[in-house]
Structure 1
Amino acid sequence: MTEKTINEVERMVVIRVFDAPRELVWKAWTDPKYVMQWWGPKGFTAPVCEMDFRVGGKFLCCMKSPDGQEFWNATDYHEIVPYEKIVSSMYFSDSKGNKIDPAELGIEHEAIEGAYDVTLFEDLGTGQTRLTFIGNEPMESAKDSGQLEGWNQILDKLAAVVAGLVESK
Protein backbone atom coordinates (compact mmCIF):
# COMPACT_ATOMS: atom_id res chain seq x y z
CA MET A 1 0.00 0.00 0.00
CA THR A 2 1.45 3.32 -1.09
CA GLU A 3 0.71 6.47 0.87
CA LYS A 4 0.75 10.03 -0.43
CA THR A 5 0.00 13.19 1.50
CA ILE A 6 -3.29 15.07 1.13
CA ASN A 7 -1.69 17.97 -0.75
CA GLU A 8 0.04 15.75 -3.32
CA VAL A 9 -2.98 14.28 -5.04
CA GLU A 10 -6.59 14.70 -6.18
CA ARG A 11 -8.85 12.61 -3.95
CA MET A 12 -11.59 10.30 -5.16
CA VAL A 13 -14.91 12.14 -5.16
CA VAL A 14 -18.27 10.58 -6.02
CA ILE A 15 -21.41 12.73 -6.15
CA ARG A 16 -25.00 11.60 -6.47
CA VAL A 17 -28.29 13.51 -6.32
CA PHE A 18 -31.24 11.61 -4.85
CA ASP A 19 -34.91 12.46 -5.36
CA ALA A 20 -35.53 12.32 -1.62
CA PRO A 21 -35.33 14.52 1.45
CA ARG A 22 -31.99 14.58 3.22
CA GLU A 23 -33.43 12.78 6.28
CA LEU A 24 -34.27 9.70 4.18
CA VAL A 25 -30.85 9.61 2.49
CA TRP A 26 -29.23 9.95 5.94
CA LYS A 27 -31.42 7.13 7.27
CA ALA A 28 -30.45 4.83 4.39
CA TRP A 29 -26.75 5.62 4.98
CA THR A 30 -26.76 5.23 8.77
CA ASP A 31 -29.23 2.42 9.58
CA PRO A 32 -27.63 -1.04 9.28
CA LYS A 33 -30.84 -2.69 8.04
CA TYR A 34 -30.70 -0.39 4.98
CA VAL A 35 -26.90 -0.46 4.61
CA MET A 36 -27.11 -4.25 4.23
CA GLN A 37 -29.27 -3.65 1.14
CA TRP A 38 -26.75 -1.44 -0.69
CA TRP A 39 -23.26 -2.13 0.69
CA GLY A 40 -20.94 -3.44 -2.02
CA PRO A 41 -20.83 -3.14 -5.79
CA LYS A 42 -23.34 -4.70 -8.19
CA GLY A 43 -23.77 -8.42 -7.55
CA PHE A 44 -22.34 -8.24 -4.03
CA THR A 45 -24.41 -8.78 -0.89
CA ALA A 46 -23.88 -7.65 2.69
CA PRO A 47 -24.88 -10.49 5.03
CA VAL A 48 -23.48 -8.76 8.15
CA CYS A 49 -23.55 -5.10 9.14
CA GLU A 50 -22.99 -3.75 12.64
CA MET A 51 -22.93 -0.04 13.42
CA ASP A 52 -22.10 1.84 16.59
CA PHE A 53 -22.96 5.16 14.96
CA ARG A 54 -21.37 7.75 17.21
CA VAL A 55 -18.07 9.60 17.37
CA GLY A 56 -15.58 6.98 18.54
CA GLY A 57 -17.90 4.20 17.36
CA LYS A 58 -17.27 1.62 14.69
CA PHE A 59 -18.92 0.16 11.61
CA LEU A 60 -18.24 -3.44 10.57
CA CYS A 61 -19.70 -4.92 7.41
CA CYS A 62 -19.15 -8.02 5.32
CA MET A 63 -19.29 -7.73 1.54
CA LYS A 64 -19.84 -11.07 -0.21
CA SER A 65 -18.89 -11.39 -3.86
CA PRO A 66 -21.07 -13.30 -6.35
CA ASP A 67 -18.64 -16.25 -6.07
CA GLY A 68 -18.96 -16.27 -2.25
CA GLN A 69 -15.68 -14.56 -1.27
CA GLU A 70 -16.05 -12.37 1.81
CA PHE A 71 -14.48 -8.94 2.17
CA TRP A 72 -14.80 -7.21 5.53
CA ASN A 73 -14.74 -3.43 5.93
CA ALA A 74 -14.51 -1.49 9.15
CA THR A 75 -14.91 2.21 9.76
CA ASP A 76 -14.02 4.40 12.72
CA TYR A 77 -16.22 7.49 13.16
CA HIS A 78 -14.34 10.73 13.89
CA GLU A 79 -17.01 13.41 13.38
CA ILE A 80 -20.77 13.28 12.91
CA VAL A 81 -22.91 16.33 12.18
CA PRO A 82 -26.45 14.91 11.95
CA TYR A 83 -27.96 15.11 8.45
CA GLU A 84 -24.90 17.01 7.15
CA LYS A 85 -21.52 15.30 7.48
CA ILE A 86 -19.73 12.13 8.52
CA VAL A 87 -15.93 12.02 8.83
CA SER A 88 -14.55 8.51 9.14
CA SER A 89 -11.69 6.21 8.31
CA MET A 90 -12.65 3.09 6.39
CA TYR A 91 -10.33 0.14 5.95
CA PHE A 92 -10.25 -3.52 5.05
CA SER A 93 -10.51 -5.71 8.12
CA ASP A 94 -10.98 -9.22 9.38
CA SER A 95 -14.39 -10.35 10.67
CA LYS A 96 -13.61 -8.86 14.08
CA GLY A 97 -12.81 -5.39 12.69
CA ASN A 98 -9.02 -5.63 12.95
CA LYS A 99 -7.29 -3.71 10.15
CA ILE A 100 -5.61 -5.82 7.47
CA ASP A 101 -3.48 -4.97 4.45
CA PRO A 102 -5.70 -4.99 1.32
CA ALA A 103 -2.91 -6.85 -0.50
CA GLU A 104 -3.77 -9.90 1.66
CA LEU A 105 -7.07 -9.95 -0.25
CA GLY A 106 -5.43 -9.37 -3.62
CA ILE A 107 -6.68 -5.77 -3.65
CA GLU A 108 -4.58 -2.79 -4.67
CA HIS A 109 -5.45 0.18 -2.49
CA GLU A 110 -3.52 3.41 -2.34
CA ALA A 111 -4.27 5.49 0.74
CA ILE A 112 -3.56 9.18 1.24
CA GLU A 113 -1.64 9.76 4.44
CA GLY A 114 -3.72 11.72 6.97
CA ALA A 115 -6.88 11.68 4.84
CA TYR A 116 -10.26 10.63 6.16
CA ASP A 117 -13.36 9.69 4.20
CA VAL A 118 -15.91 12.50 4.24
CA THR A 119 -19.58 12.03 3.38
CA LEU A 120 -21.64 15.20 2.91
CA PHE A 121 -25.44 15.40 2.74
CA GLU A 122 -26.75 18.61 1.17
CA ASP A 123 -30.44 19.56 1.09
CA LEU A 124 -30.97 21.10 -2.34
CA GLY A 125 -34.26 22.70 -1.27
CA THR A 126 -36.19 20.91 -4.02
CA GLY A 127 -36.94 17.66 -2.21
CA GLN A 128 -33.58 16.43 -3.47
CA THR A 129 -30.37 15.62 -1.63
CA ARG A 130 -26.81 15.76 -2.93
CA LEU A 131 -24.52 13.15 -1.38
CA THR A 132 -20.80 13.74 -1.85
CA PHE A 133 -18.39 10.99 -0.86
CA ILE A 134 -14.73 12.02 -0.66
CA GLY A 135 -12.52 8.98 -0.28
CA ASN A 136 -9.11 8.57 1.28
CA GLU A 137 -7.57 7.34 -1.99
CA PRO A 138 -6.25 9.20 -5.02
CA MET A 139 -8.70 9.60 -7.92
CA GLU A 140 -6.30 8.05 -10.45
CA SER A 141 -5.71 5.01 -8.25
CA ALA A 142 -9.47 4.66 -7.62
CA LYS A 143 -10.11 4.71 -11.38
CA ASP A 144 -7.35 2.20 -12.13
CA SER A 145 -8.32 -0.23 -9.34
CA GLY A 146 -12.06 -0.17 -10.07
CA GLN A 147 -12.94 1.51 -6.75
CA LEU A 148 -14.51 4.50 -8.50
CA GLU A 149 -16.72 2.20 -10.57
CA GLY A 150 -17.52 0.21 -7.41
CA TRP A 151 -18.59 3.33 -5.54
CA ASN A 152 -20.82 4.38 -8.44
CA GLN A 153 -22.45 0.93 -8.35
CA ILE A 154 -22.87 1.21 -4.57
CA LEU A 155 -24.61 4.56 -4.99
CA ASP A 156 -26.87 3.04 -7.67
CA LYS A 157 -27.93 0.44 -5.10
CA LEU A 158 -28.33 3.16 -2.45
CA ALA A 159 -30.60 5.09 -4.86
CA ALA A 160 -32.90 2.06 -5.09
CA VAL A 161 -33.06 1.80 -1.28
CA VAL A 162 -33.78 5.52 -0.96
CA ALA A 163 -36.51 5.27 -3.65
CA GLY A 164 -38.12 2.47 -1.61
CA LEU A 165 -38.05 4.65 1.51
CA VAL A 166 -39.70 7.50 -0.42
CA GLU A 167 -42.43 5.14 -1.69
CA SER A 168 -43.15 3.77 1.79
CA LYS A 169 -43.31 7.21 3.36
Structure 2
Amino acid sequence: MTESATTPGATTEFTIVRLLDAPRDLVFRAWTEPGHLTHWFGPRALTTPLSMISTDVRPGGAWGLSVVDGEGNAYPLSGSYREIVPPERLVFTTGDPANGEGALASVVTLTLADLDGKTEMRFHQAGVNTDEAHAEASKAGWVEFFDRLAEHLAAHADSRGVARRLGDSPM
Protein backbone atom coordinates (compact mmCIF):
# COMPACT_ATOMS: atom_id res chain seq x y z
CA MET A 1 0.00 0.00 0.00
CA THR A 2 1.33 3.40 -0.95
CA GLU A 3 -0.08 6.57 0.50
CA SER A 4 1.01 10.11 -0.23
CA ALA A 5 -0.30 13.53 0.62
CA THR A 6 0.08 16.69 -1.38
CA THR A 7 1.06 19.92 0.29
CA PRO A 8 -2.08 21.72 1.44
CA GLY A 9 -2.72 25.00 -0.35
CA ALA A 10 -5.83 27.12 -0.67
CA THR A 11 -7.82 23.90 -0.53
CA THR A 12 -6.66 20.78 1.22
CA GLU A 13 -6.14 17.70 -0.90
CA PHE A 14 -4.57 14.28 -0.69
CA THR A 15 -3.95 11.18 -2.77
CA ILE A 16 -4.08 7.54 -1.70
CA VAL A 17 -2.80 4.81 -4.03
CA ARG A 18 -3.66 1.16 -3.43
CA LEU A 19 -2.88 -2.00 -5.36
CA LEU A 20 -5.96 -4.22 -5.22
CA ASP A 21 -5.89 -7.91 -6.05
CA ALA A 22 -8.97 -7.77 -8.28
CA PRO A 23 -9.77 -6.88 -11.90
CA ARG A 24 -10.60 -3.23 -12.42
CA ASP A 25 -14.13 -3.89 -13.70
CA LEU A 26 -14.91 -5.44 -10.30
CA VAL A 27 -13.27 -2.51 -8.49
CA PHE A 28 -15.32 -0.07 -10.58
CA ARG A 29 -18.54 -1.95 -9.78
CA ALA A 30 -17.59 -1.95 -6.08
CA TRP A 31 -17.65 1.86 -6.26
CA THR A 32 -20.92 2.18 -8.19
CA GLU A 33 -23.23 -0.70 -7.24
CA PRO A 34 -25.18 -0.65 -3.96
CA GLY A 35 -24.78 -4.44 -3.60
CA HIS A 36 -21.03 -3.91 -3.28
CA LEU A 37 -21.02 -0.59 -1.42
CA THR A 38 -23.02 -2.07 1.45
CA HIS A 39 -20.10 -4.40 2.25
CA TRP A 40 -17.22 -1.93 2.43
CA PHE A 41 -18.21 1.73 2.47
CA GLY A 42 -17.83 3.17 5.93
CA PRO A 43 -15.81 2.58 9.08
CA ARG A 44 -15.72 -0.92 10.58
CA ALA A 45 -17.72 0.20 13.60
CA LEU A 46 -20.68 1.22 11.41
CA THR A 47 -22.89 -0.48 8.84
CA THR A 48 -24.06 0.79 5.47
CA PRO A 49 -27.50 -0.78 4.94
CA LEU A 50 -28.35 -1.65 1.35
CA SER A 51 -31.75 -0.02 1.81
CA MET A 52 -30.00 3.31 2.52
CA ILE A 53 -27.85 3.39 -0.63
CA SER A 54 -28.81 4.98 -3.93
CA THR A 55 -26.68 5.46 -7.04
CA ASP A 56 -27.64 7.09 -10.32
CA VAL A 57 -24.38 6.41 -12.15
CA ARG A 58 -24.36 8.99 -14.92
CA PRO A 59 -22.89 12.49 -15.21
CA GLY A 60 -25.10 14.70 -13.06
CA GLY A 61 -26.64 11.70 -11.30
CA ALA A 62 -26.81 11.66 -7.53
CA TRP A 63 -25.43 9.16 -5.05
CA GLY A 64 -26.30 8.91 -1.40
CA LEU A 65 -25.97 6.54 1.51
CA SER A 66 -26.09 6.47 5.26
CA VAL A 67 -23.73 4.77 7.65
CA VAL A 68 -25.45 3.59 10.84
CA ASP A 69 -24.03 3.10 14.32
CA GLY A 70 -24.97 0.39 16.81
CA GLU A 71 -27.67 2.60 18.35
CA GLY A 72 -29.40 3.11 15.01
CA ASN A 73 -28.19 6.67 14.39
CA ALA A 74 -27.76 7.30 10.66
CA TYR A 75 -25.08 9.57 9.21
CA PRO A 76 -25.88 10.54 5.61
CA LEU A 77 -23.32 11.18 2.88
CA SER A 78 -24.15 12.31 -0.62
CA GLY A 79 -22.92 13.93 -3.77
CA SER A 80 -23.18 13.77 -7.52
CA TYR A 81 -21.28 12.12 -10.32
CA ARG A 82 -19.34 14.44 -12.62
CA GLU A 83 -17.51 12.02 -14.91
CA ILE A 84 -17.88 8.29 -15.52
CA VAL A 85 -15.57 6.26 -17.78
CA PRO A 86 -16.10 2.57 -16.91
CA PRO A 87 -13.98 0.87 -15.72
CA GLU A 88 -11.17 3.41 -15.54
CA ARG A 89 -12.34 6.73 -14.09
CA LEU A 90 -14.95 8.07 -11.72
CA VAL A 91 -15.25 11.69 -10.59
CA PHE A 92 -17.80 12.62 -7.96
CA THR A 93 -18.55 15.24 -5.35
CA THR A 94 -19.06 14.57 -1.70
CA GLY A 95 -20.58 16.90 0.85
CA ASP A 96 -19.35 17.56 4.34
CA PRO A 97 -21.76 15.87 6.77
CA ALA A 98 -21.07 18.62 9.33
CA ASN A 99 -22.21 21.29 6.87
CA GLY A 100 -25.96 21.81 7.28
CA GLU A 101 -26.17 24.03 4.20
CA GLY A 102 -25.14 21.18 1.88
CA ALA A 103 -22.25 23.13 0.37
CA LEU A 104 -19.74 21.22 -1.74
CA ALA A 105 -16.88 19.98 0.41
CA SER A 106 -14.76 18.10 -2.08
CA VAL A 107 -14.29 16.45 -5.43
CA VAL A 108 -12.98 12.89 -5.62
CA THR A 109 -11.18 11.63 -8.72
CA LEU A 110 -10.78 7.87 -8.83
CA THR A 111 -8.59 6.32 -11.52
CA LEU A 112 -8.24 2.57 -11.99
CA ALA A 113 -5.34 1.09 -13.94
CA ASP A 114 -5.19 -2.55 -15.01
CA LEU A 115 -1.94 -4.20 -13.88
CA ASP A 116 -2.09 -7.78 -15.19
CA GLY A 117 -5.42 -8.58 -13.53
CA LYS A 118 -4.79 -6.45 -10.45
CA THR A 119 -5.90 -2.85 -10.14
CA GLU A 120 -3.97 0.22 -9.15
CA MET A 121 -6.54 2.50 -7.54
CA ARG A 122 -5.57 6.15 -7.32
CA PHE A 123 -7.93 8.15 -5.11
CA HIS A 124 -7.54 11.93 -5.09
CA GLN A 125 -9.73 14.17 -2.93
CA ALA A 126 -9.50 17.97 -3.22
CA GLY A 127 -11.31 20.74 -1.39
CA VAL A 128 -11.95 18.67 1.74
CA ASN A 129 -12.01 21.91 3.74
CA THR A 130 -9.26 24.41 4.34
CA ASP A 131 -8.68 22.81 7.76
CA GLU A 132 -5.74 20.40 7.54
CA ALA A 133 -6.89 18.44 10.62
CA HIS A 134 -10.23 17.70 8.93
CA ALA A 135 -8.41 16.54 5.80
CA GLU A 136 -6.14 14.23 7.82
CA ALA A 137 -9.18 12.72 9.57
CA SER A 138 -10.86 12.24 6.19
CA LYS A 139 -7.76 10.56 4.78
CA ALA A 140 -7.54 8.19 7.77
CA GLY A 141 -11.20 7.29 7.25
CA TRP A 142 -10.67 6.51 3.57
CA VAL A 143 -7.66 4.31 4.41
CA GLU A 144 -9.93 2.24 6.67
CA PHE A 145 -12.61 2.09 3.96
CA PHE A 146 -10.02 0.87 1.44
CA ASP A 147 -8.87 -1.87 3.81
CA ARG A 148 -12.49 -3.05 3.87
CA LEU A 149 -12.73 -2.68 0.07
CA ALA A 150 -9.67 -4.93 -0.38
CA GLU A 151 -11.25 -7.55 1.90
CA HIS A 152 -14.56 -7.35 0.02
CA LEU A 153 -12.85 -7.69 -3.36
CA ALA A 154 -10.86 -10.70 -2.16
CA ALA A 155 -14.16 -12.39 -1.30
CA HIS A 156 -15.47 -11.78 -4.84
CA ALA A 157 -12.55 -12.80 -7.03
CA ASP A 158 -11.35 -16.37 -7.45
CA SER A 159 -7.71 -17.42 -7.21
CA ARG A 160 -7.08 -16.40 -10.84
CA GLY A 161 -8.44 -12.89 -10.17
CA VAL A 162 -11.62 -13.59 -12.12
CA ALA A 163 -14.57 -11.66 -10.76
CA ARG A 164 -17.47 -13.66 -9.42
CA ARG A 165 -20.97 -12.26 -9.40
CA LEU A 166 -22.18 -10.78 -6.15
CA GLY A 167 -23.83 -13.59 -4.24
CA ASP A 168 -21.67 -16.38 -5.70
CA SER A 169 -19.95 -18.37 -3.00
CA PRO A 170 -16.16 -18.13 -2.62
CA MET A 171 -14.08 -20.94 -4.13
Question: What secondary structure sits across from 1:41 in the alignment?
Answer: coil
Equivalent residue for 1:35, pick from 26, 34, 37:
37
Rounded Cα–Cα distance in structure 2 between residues aligned with 1:86 and 1:7 = 24
Show structure 2 runs of 5+ residues with no match: 1-7, 165-171
Q: Larger helix proportion, structure 1 or 2?
A: 1
**Residue identity in the other structure for 1:132:** R
Structure 2 residue 145 is the aligned partner of structure 1 residue 154: yes
Question: What secondary structure sits across from 1:45 in the alignment?
Answer: coil
Q: Show structure 1 runs of 4+ deviating over 2 A.
A: 6-10, 65-69, 138-141
**Residue identity in the other structure for 2:114:** D
Rounded Cα–Cα distance in structure 2 between residues aligned with 1:10 and 1:59 = 23
**Residue identity in the other structure for 2:67:** M
Show structure 1 runs of 5+ residues with no match: 1-5, 93-100, 105-109
For residues 99-151 of structure 1, the C-alpha deviation after alignment (integer angstroms, 9 at most, x for no partner) is: xx6155xxxxx94xxx5211111112x221011111132693321xx221111
- TM (norm. structure 2) is 0.75
Q: How does 1:13-162 map to 2 (within 5 A)?
A: 13-47=15-49, 48-92=52-96, 102-103=98-99, 111=105, 116-124=107-115, 126-136=116-126, 137=128, 140-141=132-133, 142-143=135-136, 146-162=137-153
- TM (norm. structure 1) is 0.76
- Give how far 1:9 is off: 4.7
Please give the root-mean-square deviation of Cα atoms over the aligned residues, in Å.
Answer: 2.5
**Residue aligning to 1:3:** none
Rounded Cα–Cα distance in structure 2 between residues aligned with 1:9 and 1:135 = 10
Q: How many residues align?
A: 146
Instruction: Mark the CA change 1:134 to 1:66 in structure 2 (over 3 Å): closer, same or farther.
Output: farther
* % identical equivalent positions: 29
